[in-house]
Structure 1
Amino acid sequence: MLDYETLRLIWWALLGILLIGFAIMDGFDLGAAILLPFVGKTDEERRVVINTVGPVWEGNQVWFILGGGAIFAAWPPLYAVAFSGFYLAMFLILCALILRPVAFKFRSKLANPTWRSIWDWVLFVAGLVPSLVFGVAFGNVILGVPFSFDETLRVTYAGSLLGLLNPFALLCGLVSVAMLVMHGGTYLALKAGQPVAGRAISLARYAALAMVVLFLAAGVWVAKGIDGYQLVGVIPHDGPSNPLLKTVTRVSGGWLANYSAMPWTMAAPLLAVAGAFGAVLLLGARQHILAFMASALSVAGTIATAGLGVFPFLLPSALDPNASLTVWDASSSRLTLGIMLFATAIFLPIILVYTAWVYRVLRGRVTLDEIADTSAHHY
């Protein structure tokens, strides 16, 4: 079996991969839902948008389940603190995700324009709320979350839902919304027929530019106005999972230390910006497949920027920095991580293969003519 330090690093990387996979695969669903009222002017055009994501959105949420399962099994303290401290925020996300399938199914039950318009705006909210809240959560991780442990490792959370909605976290939420609107727009440019695709291209390009501006603004804020967390002394990487056995200090600009120590990590923010600009240019050149790939790379770079910046921290504590959760003291046992890695090596490739097969089967655009064909099975 691999040593404990290596297993912890692998599962940190896998957690990042699962979060990126969720943001890329389910992100375009959320982005398309946000764009729905704006790119579809008629009922048929909105049905085009809905049917581009209708066959795949359930499968895309596998990444969300995998991410939650990985946190639960590989990082139990992180799961306990995050899902209890962010309980109301998670509840909002789950409500929005529950509303989405309800809207898909109920919208087509009546031909009444008012009825369908209501469910279209429900889909909009179901896309906007998770997009915003996920970004707000990332912002609060960078700021530090108000939790602490007592001597028996019982957690105390001193925050509130309104406390999560601070200015920096809201800025991160806007980065997330703009990023996923860009991603959803590039997907519609690839999958929807005209005139929906044309409107999506225009809005996606504006969203990409907004995402770059907001992303850079957040970076300047982190560099100039937010104290980062740093470990004091040498911490054993194969030690017990007890977050109270270390000393942590807060340092101005501390979140940039990894980028100074490991210059290769600068590839992440550069990828975030370059991918967004690439999507703008490729959409203008009508290279829709390449534009979607560039958008996906921008999404990956944005999430990797945050993950690499805070490493080795998983969840910093604003109340007691010494209680912050890190890669080296918040994992499951070595045996658990090893068994899970073996299972992941078997099942993750299977998920990738069947996902690729599904998208190959469902390739091609959804057009107004297909929607008008009542013999076809569409939402």
Structure 2
Amino acid sequence: MFFGLEHAGLQIYWWIILSLLGGLLVFMFFVQGGQGLIDKLSSNDDEKSLIINALGRKWELGFTTLVLFGGAAFAAFPLFYSTSFGGAYWVWLAILFCFIIQAVSYEYRKKQGNFLGSKTYESFLKINGVLGVFLIGVAVSTFFSGSEFILDDNRFVSWTGFFRGLEQLGNPYNYLLGIALVFLSRILANSYFINALDNANIVNKAKKSLLVNTLFFLPFFLGFLAWICLKDGFFVGENGLVSMQEYLYLKNFLALPVVLAMLLLGVVLVLGGIYSSFKGGKGIFALGAGTVLAVMAVFLNVGLGNSAFYPSTVNLQSSLTIINASSSYYTLSVMGYVSLLVPFVLGYIIYVWRLMDSKKLSLSDLDDHAY
């Protein structure tokens, strides 16, 4: 028994863990955001290499967080994992492809004799920086818009459409979060460069880019919040039956004041971090904390509220909740003890981060082992 929690308590606990990992993953998208800004912030090849090397020191942390998110989903909510990752596999294969070419690019961009050339690998980084983030935003949006799957009596999933998840691109509302995440990743990247680089030209360009991307981010993010609060939601009744209900996700926020407070605090910290970064301060930390809180609030709303977190649009009763999609009590309990290692992992990441950024990176710091 994990700290005396019953099965329902463990389901809530693991959804909170999954929400935290989702927030950390979005924060780590500053790497992807920076990749999309390589040409815009650099004036020559040396500055481009400086930007890529600053990101190269951190890209593995984001990749690891993505793997942890997938692993936690598999262990705690295996039916969600098999339905989403196994059913909507075309969209997830596209996302995986975007992250594979990122890893290849950092490994081979500066390798002598690479037959594709540096420009090709830089293009791969840009694809990952835009398309990879956008597709993840679209995938998360389906928590609110729904997907086209059916579960049979044996809980075997079948997808009704040929496109296996790519049909999500046919819903323009799913684009709101996808585009918002792209601009948020660039905001985070600009803030990171201002804090981590010793190069006046890049920092000045980053400050201007910070404002531009903020102007684009806000309408898409606010549009996403307006959409989920005003749309009909997939309500789960006391009998477990799923039905459509007006303003469900708005009602979830109002019924969960702590989650609403997390969202509002997250937004305030993001705006404060943007202002601090523009003034030359260490706004990346406020931005990071705000991003994690806001993303967690969105996940907690759909998972802990009276709603299905992975709804089906073709068969409402096939929709997944944290109750019907979770692992057994024994599995959640055992994995609960494993989760106690998470603070130590986070502590290690923070320690390594501080060591890497104890001194601002400049052109003189680049050597033969540069990315």
Whether these two folds match at TM > 0.5 is yes
Contact 1:140–1:169, Cα closer than 8 Å, also in 2: yes
Q: How does 1:131-146 map to 2 (within 5 A)?
A: 131-146=133-148
Residues 223 and 350 of structure 1: CA distance in aligned 2, closer, same or farther (over 3 Å): closer
- 2:6 aligned residue: 3
Residues 263 and 357 of structure 1: CA distance in aligned 2, closer, same or farther (over 3 Å): closer
Residues 284 and 276 of structure 1: CA distance in aligned 2, closer, same or farther (over 3 Å): same
State percent identity of aligned pairs: 26
Residues 86 and 197 of structure 1: CA distance in aligned 2, closer, same or farther (over 3 Å): farther
- 2:80 aligned residue: 78
TM-score, normalised to structure 2, is 0.91
Is 1:23 aligned to 2:29, yes or no? no
- AA partner of residue 7 (structure 2): Y
Q: How does 1:127-206 map to 2 (within 5 A)?
A: 127-159=129-161, 160=163, 161-165=165-169, 166-194=171-199, 195-206=201-212
- 1:125 aligned residue: 127
Q: How does 1:266-345 map to 2 (within 5 A)?
A: 266-287=260-281, 289=282, 291-312=283-304, 313-345=308-340
Q: How many residues align?
A: 359
**Structure 1 residue 78 displacement after superposition:** 0.3
Secondary structure (helix, strand or coil) at the match of 2:271 reads: helix
Residues 249 and 169 of structure 1: CA distance in aligned 2, closer, same or farther (over 3 Å): same
**Structure 1 residue 305 displacement after superposition:** 3.4
Secondary structure (helix, strand or coil) at the match of 2:264 reads: helix
CA distance in 2, matches of 1:280, 1:352: 24
CA distance in 1, matches of 2:350, 2:256: 34
Contact 2:266–2:289, Cα closer than 8 Å, also in 1: yes
Give ranges in structure 1 of 5+ residues lacking alignment. 236-245
Secondary structure (helix, strand or coil) at the match of 2:233 reads: strand
- AA partner of residue 227 (structure 1): D
TM-score, normalised to structure 1, is 0.89
**Structure 1 residue 197 displacement after superposition:** 2.0
- AA partner of residue 171 (structure 1): L
Secondary structure (helix, strand or coil) at the match of 1:230 reads: strand
Residues 311 and 350 of structure 1: CA distance in aligned 2, closer, same or farther (over 3 Å): closer
- AA partner of residue 172 (structure 2): P
Secondary structure (helix, strand or coil) at the match of 2:36 reads: helix
**Structure 1 residue 100 displacement after superposition:** 1.2
**Structure 1 residue 110 displacement after superposition:** 5.5
CA distance in 1, matches of 2:62, 2:142: 26
Contact 1:208–1:279, Cα closer than 8 Å, also in 2: no
Contact 2:88–2:166, Cα closer than 8 Å, also in 1: no
Secondary structure (helix, strand or coil) at the match of 1:325 reads: coil
- AA partner of residue 26 (structure 2): A
CA distance in 2, matches of 1:353, 1:162: 37
Secondary structure (helix, strand or coil) at the match of 1:311 reads: helix
Q: How does 1:223-234 map to 2 (within 5 A)?
A: 223-224=229-230, 226-232=231-237, 234=238
Give ranges in structure 2 of 5+ residues lacking alignment. none
Alpha-carbon displacement from aligned partner over 1:189-246 (angstroms, at most 9, x marks no partner): 111222212212221232233222211112222233x2111122x25xxxxxxxxxx2
**Structure 1 residue 111 displacement after superposition:** 9.8
Residues 209 and 267 of structure 1: CA distance in aligned 2, closer, same or farther (over 3 Å): farther
2:354 to 345, 357, 360: 360
Secondary structure (helix, strand or coil) at the match of 1:108 reads: coil
**Structure 1 residue 96 displacement after superposition:** 1.2
Q: How does 1:236-251 map to 2 (within 5 A)?
A: 246-251=240-245
CA distance in 2, matches of 1:3, 1:294: 35
CA distance in 2, matches of 1:108, 1:274: 40
2:344 to 350, 361, 371: 350
CA distance in 1, matches of 2:221, 2:310: 21
Contact 1:212–1:276, Cα closer than 8 Å, also in 2: no
CA distance in 1, matches of 2:229, 2:334: 39
**Structure 1 residue 298 displacement after superposition:** 3.1
Secondary structure (helix, strand or coil) at the match of 1:326 reads: coil
Contact 1:37–1:124, Cα closer than 8 Å, also in 2: no
- AA partner of residue 378 (structure 1): A
Contact 1:212–1:273, Cα closer than 8 Å, also in 2: no
- AA partner of residue 157 (structure 1): W
Contact 1:21–1:63, Cα closer than 8 Å, also in 2: yes
**Structure 1 residue 74 displacement after superposition:** 0.8
Contact 1:35–1:200, Cα closer than 8 Å, also in 2: no
**Structure 1 residue 77 displacement after superposition:** 0.4
Alpha-carbon displacement from aligned partner over 1:140-191 (angstroms, at most 9, x marks no partner): 2210111111222221112424411120111211011111111111111111
CA-based RMSD of the aligned residues comes to: 2.0
CA distance in 2, matches of 1:298, 1:357: 20
- 2:369 aligned residue: 377
CA distance in 2, matches of 1:188, 1:148: 46
- AA partner of residue 226 (structure 2): V
